[in-house]
Structure 1
């Protein structure tokens, strides 16, 4: 073992000052001690840079701001001198790297009017990872960590505007939860991951060629995990173009005397305990969410699993489909929803009251969260849905109309043209497709209601969009159903064939990535809206969404999200609108205030209230 790996921080700084060749970078040395990125700027830029750090605390957690001409750093180390305590420094003139030097003593006159910023470093948590049983590949391979410039822009302040830089560590899939927890509890060392999965989702084209540091070899089964990186400060200096500035050389940190300790006091708080879930394989993408949010969403999933119609839908239930679907929807920027089940083929209109209320409830919350939303339905039903939407806005069920679309199969690539800009599969128009109580194509190519009646003549081939989406990276799909003949429920087709009446005939053959089963499909839509709200308020997930940049949403936004949720009053109004336009109950065909033969009061109203109480109940106080 090299001597540098065994020495105390104070002894290491002495060794660094001696300018030996033993220390090329500080990765893997001073294990368990806090290290710091360094940015040194003229005092006239100091306030702007501090504001930049505060606005981007993920990559730039501020540990200490010195006074002009102050070489020491009392909060972090005794007997330190920032001019000589890093193995290498970068010298920037007008934003351009002009030299890499061993020390800054020759610049002492200029530095009298300069301020030093000490910023948290991910090297500080590598010991924490190891203590949690997580291998750190760059340390194992005696290499500097891989650092990449991303396409993710930091929040600007003054003249500082730049993309975020990230570090990448390959982590075994089974260790992702441990890695997320260990680092989430070290906020002064960048905190938890900002991305887990495909590097391209950060704008990184080649993960084998980092802009800074060394390429690190993954082991079989490893997943790329990315943390915000203090080298973002180097990019910031270049963006501002000051006449003279200094930074540490990437990987050559200031080693402090302070031990890096995770904030163990909050480990018992489920709001601060992150869990990882895979939400896509193409591209590979994991999301982060707190244990507390997971438990609440699982409660929602249990509530909508009630089966008052005695259909036996529990046989179709797959745990955490609601959670994973909503995590994916939370990351989406554009969502396409489809609904419409023309089960009453002898009536005009043939639609049922299950589906549209759930679709509109999801649309309301998705839009409140800033997503673009559209609804695609059968061409013959466009006028009906337009009138329903207008009435729903007038009665305050939803604030503004959701755009309505139709889709016709006009050729072999028509679905791809519909889903992608100019038909380009690398430019999808929608990130997520959701089908709720939408008639789904069976194995024989027909569409059946629960009684086994073929209604194909009333159904447009919207299934083709879900089928085409499987070949378009970046589009994820969800199906919501209560019987197994709905679009997307092909994911559980074998269970439908085995357990549902007429299952061998009616089972939808088109699978979605996620299949949400509910006693009534509308309930699934309500649960999606509620789960999205829970995720929006989850501190772990919210930080992951914004990648540690910017600031959390304000209470005013929280209030706007809450008012978008389904209520008993809004859903009763919408059901009345459907009945006004001749839409009937699915099971009975009654033109009445019921869905699937179940009266709105007390069945549906009670379930809506249950969902709201599970969603909005106060967080329990810690003891």
Structure 2
């Protein structure tokens, strides 16, 4: 800040203060925050459209303020540390300290916010322009300065991102959510978020810019449908003003320091003060941020669209996405030379696993009775991958069930029990069957009381599950119709497509598997007999693999990577969670050569055969476990165990 700019400010103040007219006399004027705090005329302007313009152009970090009795200060500080995204603590004062030396010179918290809220026993009793009348009480009170999202709006504009609330001359919209902050002492309250509509093609840029400013709440905590946060009407914010979207915009939500106002209300202190939402304390610190172009991949978020109904995006670090893409490439290798690469679509694995990571309840189905002349007719591809996914999902705290054909239910119960005894999976997976027909039966199976608004499952996964062709039959790769051995589990996937919030994944290696209807045109064009055998039932995500089991292993590994990714984990927990603490338990649930060999031996024990050859031995799809499958598993684990820093 040059001396000339300081003098310019003082001249303006002497000649009527800061008004739109006097400000226009100094094009490009950058407001000096100390002087800004001296101007009483700025008080009302700060909360209107002109104030929004100044807030954007000031170029300095801004802060939310909470002032509490010193007896509550330690608990509130711990509350801030436990909920760092909504409450990034910039400075805690001493009792009776008006200033905040690390943030601003010559500050006086009694006068430096444009407007204050006064709370008595948690109830808002007044709004005032200064706290001078409370000087005596403030001698025993501590001031907390908390980061504010206004501080990153300038960075967004610099990056070419339109900031709709600024364009419209409005305070940002702030909403109380259904997410609850981590409790400390008397402090427990809902998370408050700000919402800014962002053009779809700017989502990555917005996530990257704001992630680099943790003192201003960091990156988004939710992108998509407000109802997922418990917000029913974005036109009626609890704080601030409604902000209108433009065509092509997506609602993006950040944690908000007004969470501190909610904390004051919920803890009901005898007397407390906060800034009035939107009327911030301006520091002397510039709101500079590192360019996203210079950030290492482990610190660079990327976004993915994972659901349309409801609209939902997720995110992970660029390094984690690169690792998952390596897993995807390994899983689609084709040593059997089946031409499966022609069906491959990049990032189906990462999008499926992001969706699974957000899920609480997952249904898995498998079973391809290709050996119609044997009893049992099942093959060794599918069940190992299903169990590998179930083991990781259980380790991550998800509820998992497996649906299979009624005729194979008892055998699968015994197989799962043996797998638990041998340490392949830690907890038995509940097994169900579905033999109903039609959409109504499927919806009753998938939803409580048959109500699509009460789904039992968030995500359905089919791995090497025989899929219904366009003529209603089920074909193996030799065009043999095996419909008589298959229960209509396809109906569950068809019904799921109409249930809001329920996603589906299909994993296959030939195109005749359930869910691979998403790439039916490619199957018809490139696979032998594709026009007849191609599955007609699509999943939201179709993971193409050289052997379907490899897709299950890759899903397990990808889920591990995502939940170890600090960017994804923070987003998954709406900015309220702690760094991963269960990595050791997750790691112990990853597939391994030893576990997969043991499980394959269990399948052989029950007469389950290799798919291509019908051999009863340690073989899947005509490929022996050693060296082919064991080598794939080792390579998947090697990529999984690499740290994100390995992916530059």
TM-score (norm 1): 0.98
Partner of 2:592: 567
Conserved in 2, the CA contact under 8 Å of 1:121 and 1:229?
Answer: yes
Of 344, 351, 362 in structure 1, the residue corresponding to residue 389 of structure 2 is 362
Instruction: Find the residue that maps to 1:100 and give its secondary structure.
Output: strand
CA RMSD of aligned residues (A): 1.5
- Deviation of 1:427 after TM superposition, in Å, equals 1.3
Aligned: 1:472 with 2:499: yes
Aligned-residue offset at 1:19: 6.0
Per-residue deviation, 1:451: 0.5
Q: Distance in 1 between matches of 2:292 and 2:398?
A: 36
How far did 1:132 drift?
1.1
1:12 aligns with 2:36: yes
5+ residue gaps in structure 2? 1-18, 24-28
Q: Distance in 2 between matches of 1:141 and 1:6?
A: 21
- Post-superposition offset of 1:508: 0.3
**C-alpha distance in 1, partners of 2:292/2:371?**
59
- Note the C-alpha offset of 1:24: 1.9
Q: What's the offset of the Cα at 1:411?
A: 5.7
CA distance in 2, matches of 1:618, 1:274: 16
Which has the larger displacement, 242-251 or 266-275?
266-275
Kept in 2, the 8 Å contact 1:27–1:123? The answer is no
* 1:539 shift after superposition: 1.3
How much does 1:269 deviate? 1.2
Q: Check if 1:439 corresponds to 2:466.
A: yes
Q: Distance in 2 between matches of 1:504 and 1:324?
A: 28
Q: Where does residue 220 of structure 1 map in the other structure?
A: 247
Q: Is the 8 A contact 2:463 2:506 kept in 1?
A: yes
- 1:456 partnered with 2:497: no
> Does residue 24 of the first structure (1) align with residue 47 of the second (2)?
yes
2:8 corresponding residue in structure 1: none
Counterpart-to-counterpart distance in 2, 1:20 and 1:284: 39
In structure 2, the partner of 1:492 is: 519
Q: Identify if the C-alpha distance between structure 1 residues 575 and 102 changes in structure 2 by more than 3 Å, giving closer, same or farther.
A: same
Q: Deviation per CA, 1:83-127, whole angstroms, max 9, x where unpaired?
A: 111111111111111111111111111111000000000000000
Q: 1:381 aligns with which of 408, 413, 423?
A: 408
Counting only pairs closer than 5 Å after superposition, residues 92-131 of structure 1 correspond to structure 2 as 92-131=119-158
Following the alignment from structure 1 to structure 2, what is the Cα–Cα distance between the partners of residues 412 and 183?
44
Q: Deviations over 1:436-467 (max 9, x none)?
A: 00000000111110100110111011111100
Aligned partner of residue 484 in structure 2, secondary structure: helix
Question: What is the Cα deviation at residue 266 of structure 1?
Answer: 9.5
Contact 1:28 1:126 in 2 (8 A): no
Equivalent position of 1:578 in the other structure? 603
Secondary structure of the 1:327 match is helix
- Name the residue aligned to 2:316: 289
C-alpha separation between the residues in 2 aligned to 1:573 and 1:474? 36
**Paired residues of 1:493 and 1:507 also in contact (CA < 8 A):** yes
2:64 matched residue in structure 1: 37
Once the two structures are TM-superposed, the CA of residue 131 in structure 1 deviates from its matched residue by 1.0
**How far is 1:18 from its partner?**
4.4
Work out the CA distance in 2 between the residues paired with 1:248 and 1:201. Answer: 28
Aligned to 1:605: 630
- What are the residue-to-residue correspondences of 1:242-321 with 2, within 5 Å? 242-263=269-290, 267-321=294-348
Match of 2:620 in 1: 595
Give the conservation status (yes or no) of the 8 Å contact 1:27–1:145.
no
1:305: how far off?
1.1
2:361 to 323, 331, 334: 334
Q: Deviations along 1:178-225, whole A, 9 cap, x unmatched?
A: 100000000000000000000000000001111100101111100000
Cα deviation for residue 355 of structure 1 reads 0.1
The separation in 2 between residues aligned to 1:546 and 1:28, in whole angstroms, is 33
Change over 3 Å in CA distance of 1:343–1:301 after alignment to 2: same
Is 1:424 the counterpart of 2:451 in the alignment? Answer: yes
The 2-side partners of 1:286 and 1:210 are apart by 22
Deviation at 1:169, TM superposition (A): 0.3
Secondary structure (helix, strand or coil) at the match of 1:218 reads: coil
Q: CA deviation at 1:7?
A: 2.3
Deviations 1:460-497 (A, max 9, x none): 11111100011100000000000000000000000001
Q: Provide the C-alpha distance between the structure 1 equivalents of 2:481 and 2:69, rounded to a whole number of angstroms.
A: 76
Give CA-to-partner distance per residue, 1:238-273, whole Å, 9 cap, x none.
Answer: 000011111001000001111012245994311000
C-alpha distance in structure 1 between counterparts of 2:86 and 2:520, whole Å:
46
Q: In 1, Cα distance between the equivalents of 2:317 and 2:530?
A: 38
Tell me how far 1:373 sits from its aligned partner.
0.6
Measure how far apart 1:79 and its partner are: 1.4
Q: How many equivalent residue pairs?
A: 620
Q: Does 1:372 align with 2:395?
A: no
Determine which of 159, 182, 192 is the counterpart of 2:219: 192
TM-score (norm 2): 0.94
Equivalent pair of 1:19/1:102 in contact (CA under 8 Å): no
Structure 1's unaligned 5+ residue stretches are none
Paired residues of 2:438 and 2:491 also in contact (CA < 8 A): no
**Quick check: 1:76–1:256 contact (8 Å CA) kept in 2?**
yes
CA-to-partner distance for each residue in 1:494-545, whole Å, 9 max, x for gaps? 0001111111111000000000000000000000000111111111111111
Report the alpha carbon displacement of residue 330 of structure 1 after superposing the two structures with TM. 0.6
SS in 2 for 1:21: helix
Separation in structure 1 between the aligned mates of residue 393 and residue 76 of structure 2, nearest angstrom: 35
Distance apart, 1:6 and its partner CA: 4.6
Corresponding residue SS for 1:237: helix
Q: Measure the CA separation in 1 of the matches of 2:66 and 2:203.
A: 31
Query: Secondary structure at 2:246's aligned position in 1?
Result: coil
SS at match of 2:54: coil
CA contact (8 A) 1:37 1:120 kept: yes
C-alpha distance in structure 2 between counterparts of 1:411 and 1:533, whole Å: 36
Q: Aligned equivalents of 1:271 and 1:464: distance in 2?
A: 41
Contact between 2:46 and 2:52, CA under 8 Å: does it hold in 1? no
**Cα distance change of structure 1 residues 158 and 88 upon mapping to structure 2, 3 Å threshold:** same
Tell me, in whole angstroms, the C-alpha distance in 1 between the residues paired with 2:425 and 2:193. Answer: 40
How many Å apart are 1:421 and its aligned residue? 1.5
Q: Distance in 1 between matches of 2:424 and 2:32?
A: 65
Change (3 A) 1:541 1:28: farther
Separation in 1 of the partners of 2:291 and 2:520? 45
| Aligned-residue offset at 1:390 | 0.8
